[in-house]
Copies of this chain bind each other. A is one copy, B any other.
Amino acid sequence: MLSFSYTKSRSSRFLPFHFPPFLPSFFHSVSLPLPLNPPKSSHLRLLHLPLRIRSIDAAQPYDYESQLKSRHLKSQSLKIAIIGFGNFGQFLAKTLSRQGHTLLTYSRTNYSDVAKKLGVTFYSNPHDLCESHPEVLILCTSILSTEKVLKSFPFQRLKRSTLFVDVLSVKEFAKNILLKYLPAEFDILCTHPMFGPESGKTSWLGLPFVYDKVRIGNEEERMNRCEKFLDIFAREGCRMVEMSCAEHDRYAAGSQFVTHTMGRVLEKFGLESSPINTKGYETLLDLVENTAGDSFELYYGLFMYNQNAMEQLERLDMAFEAIKKELFGKLHQVYRRQLFGTADGLEERPKIQKLLHNGAPVEPSTDTTEQERS
C-alpha cells in the first residue's frame, strides 16, 4: 500500500495519509508536509494543503492510462455485505459504492428504496445475502443490538473464509462478542471510523480511522483482502490509526464520551443562540448541533459498553464540583470578611445580602487592578 505522510504541526507526529480514490495509489509515491492543526477549521486545512505531485505519467497516452486505472480499480474492488442498513450503514455505502465495490445490504427495516437509489442490492432475508458469498461483511448494527444480531446470524451460509468487520464506537466489547460468536474460520477486523454522516459529510480527509486486526489468517489472500478493505478508508484520506481495542476504549472514554456528555448536558441546559454570541459560545452551539443528531442509544452505548466511561463521568462530575466549590468558597470568604473583618461589620451586612440576592457590588477580595477582561 503506497502512501505519503503529513506532519502534524502541534505534536510533529507523522501520520499516514493517502491520495483520494480518483487517483489509484500506484500512480504516485510522494512524501509531503501537511499542516493538520494550524487553521482551526478542517475546511481551511484543505485550503492549506501544500499539494505537490512530483511525478505523473503525463507522457502516457490517455487510453493506456484509463485502461490501467479501470483494471486497477477492478482488482481493488470487493464484494461487501452491510448488515444493518440504517443511518451509518447508508453513510458508508455511499463511499463504498462510489469506489466501485459490489454492495449487498440487509436490514430488518425495509430499505429497498434507499438501496435502489444508491445502486446497491437490498436483501430482506439474511440467508439470501449470505448465499451470495460476500468477501467482507460489515456489521453496522447499533451497540445495543449487535449481540442479538450475532446470536441468530446464519454464518453457515457464508464462505468459511469471510472477513467480519465491525464499526462500533466501543471496541473491547465488539472484539469480545465477535470472538465469542463467530466460527473460528472467519477473519475479524475491529474498526472505528471516528466520524459519521455529520462530521464526514463533505470529506473524510484527516478524520481518524482506528483498527485492530483481531484475527486475520496468515494466508496471503486473507492478508491482502484485509489490506484492500483498509485501503477504502486510506484512499479517502482518513488518518489510519492501528491501535488495540483496549487502548482505543481508554482514549475514547476520555475524548468521545466526554464530548458526547458535554453536548448532551448543554442540549438539556437549553443552549440557545443570543444576539451577543462570543466565538467560544458559537463552538458550544455547534457541539450541541452535532450531538443532537446522534441517538441517546448511541450515547448510552458509549457509557454502558466502555469500561472506562464511568471513571470519566466521575472525573467530569468532580471537576464540575471543584469549580462550584471555588466559586462558592470565594463568595463565602467575601461574606465572612464583610461580616467579621471590618469595624462596621453590621453596616456592611445589607450590602453583602444584596449581593447574594441580586449581584450588586462588593469590595474586591483581592487587590488586582489591571486584569484581563473579555
Listed in ascending order, the chain A residues whose CB lies under 8 Å from chain B are: 10-11, 13, 39-44, 84-89, 107-109, 140-145, 147-149, 167-170, 172-173, 176-177, 192-199, 207-208, 210, 241, 243, 248, 251-252, 254-256, 258-266, 268-284, 286-287, 290-291, 293-298, 300-301, 303-310, 313, 315-317, 319-320, 322-324, 326-327, 330-331, 334, 355, 357-374
Contact = CB atoms under 8 A, between A and B. Distances in A.
B374 A276 contact: no
Contacts of A330: 300, 304
Nearest to A301: B373
Contacts of A374: 88, 169, 193-199, 294, 298
A13 B251 CA distance: 42
Contacts of A277: 208, 255
Contact of A148 (B198, B254, B364): B364
Contacts of A304: 330-331, 334, 355, 359, 362
17 contacts: A39-B43, A107-B369, A141-B369, A142-B371, A143-B371, A147-B363, A148-B364, A167-B373, A198-B374, A243-B276, A248-B276, A258-B284, A260-B280, A268-B319, A284-B287, A294-B372, A307-B358
A208 B276 contact: yes
Contacts of A319: 265-266, 268-270
Nearest to A13: B275
A147 B243 contact: no
A94 to B, nearest CB: 14
A218 B288 CA distance: 46
B327 A300 contact: yes
B305 A359 contact: yes
B142 A369 contact: yes
B269 A316 contact: yes
A332 B147 CA distance: 20
B261 A269 contact: no
A51 B207 CA distance: 33
Nearest to A39: B43
Nearest to A111: B370
Contacts of A273: 10-11
Contact of A262 (B84, B284, B286, B365): B284
Contacts of A172: 359
A87 B371 contact: yes
Nearest to A43: B44
Contacts of A268: 319, 322-323
Which 8 residue pairs spanning A and B have beta carbons closest together?
A86-B370, A196-B374, A307-B359, A142-B371, A41-B41, A87-B372, A144-B364, A268-B319
A261 B148 contact: no
A260 B317 CA distance: 17
Given A280-B290, A286-B40, A297-B368, A169 B108 contact: no
Contacts of A269: 258, 315-316, 319
Contact of A259 (B169, B280, B296): B280
A282 B107 CA distance: 34
Contact of A265 (B168, B323, B373): B323
A169 B323 CA distance: 20
A298 to B, nearest CB: 5
A76 B258 CA distance: 51
Contact of A369 (B149, B309, B320, B324): B149
A269 B265 CA distance: 15
